[in-house]
Structure 1
Amino acid sequence: MDTLGGCRKSLDVCIHLLTSIEIASCLIDAHNRGVMVRVVCDNEMSTNKGSQIRNLSAAGISVKIPLLNYHMHSKIAIIDGWKVMTGSANWTVQGIDGNWDNLLVTSQPDIVRESVVAFDLMWNNPKIQMFS
Structure 2
Amino acid sequence: MDWKSARIILTATATVVVASQVAKKIYNYFFHSRKSSQADANNDDSCCELINIKNREINDVILFSDDVVRHTIRIPPNRDITICESRELNCFKLIKYIKSARETLDVCMYLITSSEIAEQIIRLGQKHVLVRIVVDSDMAYTPPSQIKKLKEYSFIEVQTNNKSILMHHKFCIIDGPKAIKRKNILKSYAEKLNVHTQHIKLTKPPTKPKPVRGFVMSGSLNWSTHAMVSNHESVIVTSHSNIVSKFEKEFETLWVENEPALVSSMC
Shared fold (TM-score, shorter chain, > 0.5): yes
What does 1:1-132 correspond to in 2, within 5 Å? 1-60=95-154, 61-81=156-176, 82-124=214-256
Deviation at 1:125, TM superposition (A): 7.5
Paired letter, 1:53 = I
Paired letter, 2:136 = D
Larger helix proportion of the pair: 2
Q: Secondary structure at the match of 1:46?
A: coil
Q: Deviations over 1:61-112 (max 9, x none)?
A: 1000111223210011100111001110111101122210111110011110
Range 93-102 or range 39-48, more displaced = 93-102
Q: Distance in 2 between matches of 1:66 and 1:114?
A: 19
- What is the aligned-residue identity percentage? 36
Q: Distance in 2 between matches of 1:102 and 1:76?
A: 12
Greater than 4 Å deviation, 4+ residue runs: none
Structure 2 unmatched runs, 5+: 1-94, 177-213, 259-267
Larger strand proportion of the pair: 1
Larger RCO (CA within 8 A; separation ≥ 6): 1
Paired letter, 2:138 = E
Q: Distance in 1 between matches of 2:243 and 2:227?
A: 23
Structure 1 unmatched runs, 5+: 127-132
Paired letter, 1:104 = I
Q: Distance in 2 between matches of 1:104 and 1:116?
A: 16
Q: Distance in 1 between matches of 2:123 and 2:229?
A: 21
Question: Aligned residue pairs: how many?
Answer: 126
Q: Distance in 1 between matches of 2:223 and 2:136?
A: 13
TM-score by length of 1: 0.91
Q: Secondary structure at the match of 2:223?
A: coil
Q: Distance in 2 between matches of 1:72 and 1:125?
A: 18
Root-mean-square deviation (CA, aligned residues, Å) is: 1.3
Q: Secondary structure at the match of 2:128?
A: coil
